[in-house]
């Protein structure tokens, strides 16, 4: 309070000391950045071939941090993608990725995993695979991985050709084989699946066993027919119908895959042999219908009555 007749020594001026905008030291901002950090996963790719690189590109685009290891040396490719490559599996494991995703060929997965220094990984790593067969890696993971690892089996039902531009509406089959009860583990698994969801994949939760049953009659047969037509070396014609063009498309989508991959679809899916027999039986039946009719006609010509 001012006294009458006395002038105040200081005139107090109003100064703005706080504003309403979020500041880096606010609790909300700190919480938000913790959440953002948590959503950024460190994903370790084992097997940096065709498919491993294809997935990595999207993971990086989505802002995740990726590291990779492989039998061959992919340091240059990795550098171009802006990720770290470790030819030594020990060095890879010591980076302690949150998630490890196995992208090796079906045939080499067991030997790769048996010689992998799993004990150097984080105690509760989430282990995934993208093999085109599912019961086999599920069984292998349960058998070889430490009990405290989470297991998520995936099969992106598309590849570098069909998913080149977009993953919209392309099916992603997944089976949460073993995910620990605590919130962090669930959140990590969800965050990983959300990458595929955000890319527009059709998310299909299905047991590995059911996947193999269905894949034998769809994927394996598709690959077999594609390989047969590829072996026939079908050439374009000047009067190609739409149907013929789709057959040539089928060859393009399957014949370029390694024979190793195709053999893996056969060898490591116990339903494949039965489907191959069904295909053989169907071919024999169709062929015999043609020849039976032909024989009937010829006999009619030979015998008058
Ligand atoms: P692939 O020929 O099935 O696998 C190539 C990968 O396997 C490379 O990383 C290669 O490593 C590794 N590899 C092969 N033999 C090995 C061995 N003896 N020891 C250690 N590593 C070995 O071709 P891919 O297309 O990249 O497929 C990878 C996985 O993705 C497969 O399990 C496949 O079923 C699955 N998948 C593929 C597609 C697709 O469209 N291609 C779609 C869905 C799922 P190096 O290159 O270092 O030798």
pLDDT digits (tens, 9 = 90+) for 200-211: 999 999 999 999
Q: Is the pLDDT of residue 46 over 80?
A: yes
Cα–Cα distance for residue pair 44/104, rounded to 1 Å: 13
pLDDT number for residue 297: 86
Q: Is the pLDDT of residue 2 over 50?
A: no
Q: Ligand 1 atom closest to Cα of 72? A: 47
pLDDT digits (tens, 9 = 90+) for 60-72: 999 999 999 999 9
pLDDT number for residue 4: 46
Backbone angles phi, psi at 43, to 5 degrees: -110, 125
- What is the mean predicted confidence (pLDDT) over 273-283? 98
How high is the mean pLDDT of the chain?
91
Q: Is the pLDDT of residue 16 over 90?
A: no
More confident residue, 27 or 181: 181
Q: Is the shortest distance between the CB of 215 and ligand 1 below 6 Å? A: no
pLDDT number for residue 299: 85
Distances in Å between the alpha carbon of 150 and those of 116, 184, 185, 191, 250?
A: 17, 12, 8, 14, 37
pLDDT number for residue 281: 98
pLDDT number for residue 80: 97
Q: Ligand 1 atom closest to Cα of 54? A: 26
Q: Ligand 1 atom closest to Cα of 50? A: 26
pLDDT band for 3, please (50, 70, 90 cuts).
Answer: very low
Q: Is the shortest distance between the CB of 52 and ligand 1 below 6 Å? A: yes
Cα–Cα distance for residue pair 195/198, rounded to 1 Å: 5
Name the least confident of 31-35, 90-94, 225-229, 236-240. 31-35
pLDDT band for 253, please (50, 70, 90 cuts).
Answer: confident
pLDDT number for residue 153: 98
pLDDT number for residue 108: 97
Contact 138, 154 (CB under 8 A): no
pLDDT number for residue 167: 98
Q: Is the shortest distance between the CB of 180 and ligand 1 below 6 Å? A: no
More confident residue, 9 or 276: 276
pLDDT number for residue 5: 47
Cα–Cα distance for residue pair 44/127, rounded to 1 Å: 10
Contact 99, 44 (CB under 8 A): yes
Residue with CA nearest ligand 1 atom 46: 49
- What is the mean predicted confidence (pLDDT) over 218-227? 97
Q: Is the shortest distance between the CB of 131 and ligand 1 below 6 Å? A: yes
Q: Ligand 1 atom closest to Cα of 71? A: 47
pLDDT band for 192, please (50, 70, 90 cuts).
Answer: very high
Cα–Cα distance for residue pair 85/47, rounded to 1 Å: 11
């Amino acid at each position: 309070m001012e006294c009458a007749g006395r002038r105040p020594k200081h005139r107090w001026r109003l100064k703005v000391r706080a504003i309403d905008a979020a500041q880096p030291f606010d609790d909300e901002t700190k919480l938000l950045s913790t959440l953002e950090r948590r959503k950024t996963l460190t994903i370790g790719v084992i097997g940096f071939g065709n498919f491993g690189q294809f997935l990595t590109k999207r993971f990086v685009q989505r802002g995740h941090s990726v590291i990779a290891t492989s039998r061959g040396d992919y340091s240059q490719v990795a550098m171009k993608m802006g990720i770290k490559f470790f030819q030594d599996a020990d060095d890879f494991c010591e980076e302690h990725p949150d998630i490890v995703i196995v992208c090796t060929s079906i045939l080499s997965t067991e030997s790769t995993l048996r010689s992998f220094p799993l004990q150097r990984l984080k105690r509760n790593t989430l282990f995934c695979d993208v093999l085109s067969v599912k019961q086999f890696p599920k069984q292998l993971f349960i058998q070889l991985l430490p009990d405290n690892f989470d297991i998520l089996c995936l099969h992106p039902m598309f590849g570098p050709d069909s998913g080149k531009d977009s993953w919209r509406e392309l099916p992603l089959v997944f089976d949460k084989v073993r995910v620990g009860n605590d919130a962090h583990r669930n959140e990590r698994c969800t965050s990983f699946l959300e990458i595929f969801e955000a890319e527009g994949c059709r998310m299909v939760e299905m047991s590995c066993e059911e996947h193999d049953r269905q894949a034998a009659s769809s994927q394996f047969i598709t690959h077999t027919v594609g390989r047969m037509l590829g072996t026939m070396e079908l050439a374009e014609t000047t009067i190609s119908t739409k149907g013929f063009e789709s057959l040539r498309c089928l060859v393009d989508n399957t014949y370029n895959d390694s024979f190793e991959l195709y053999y893996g679809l056969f060898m490591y899916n116990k339903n494949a042999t039965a489907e191959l027999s069904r295909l053989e039986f169907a071919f024999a039946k169709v062929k015999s219908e043609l020849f039976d009719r032909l024989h009937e006609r010829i006999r009619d010509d030979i015998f008058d009555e």
